[in-house]
Structure 1
Amino acid sequence: MSEKEKQIIKTLADKLPAMSERERGYLEGTIATAAAMSSKKEEQEKNNSEKKVG
């Protein structure tokens, strides 16, 4: 994990207790969307590389 990622996690951990339930839900949804988009992008790149090789 990069130093930037560690700093982001530390900042979130510090701010999370002060967040409202609505803010936490929004953050959770944003993270889930980003993770899904990242997985989809990785899958597309894998499929593209397999097509080039095969």
Structure 2
Amino acid sequence: MAGSAVEGEDIVQEAVVKALAAHDGGALVERPEQWLFRIAHNAAQDHLRRRQR
């Protein structure tokens, strides 16, 4: 999705930071794989939107 490995790494780092912040904030996670995938997917879409500007 990102187009390069460097951008992909940035997206993964952003997703991990968001996931840790949500988990520390008390988010209840029933399906952790789906939850983390959704965070990563949203982070990738956010990155693509920023790149288009």
TM-score by length of 2: 0.50
Q: Return the structure number with greater relative CO, CA threshold 8 A, min gap 6.
A: 2
Q: Which structure shows the higher helix fraction?
A: 1
TM-score by length of 1: 0.49
Instruction: Work out which of the two has the higher radius of gyration on C-alpha atoms and give 1 or 2.
Output: 1
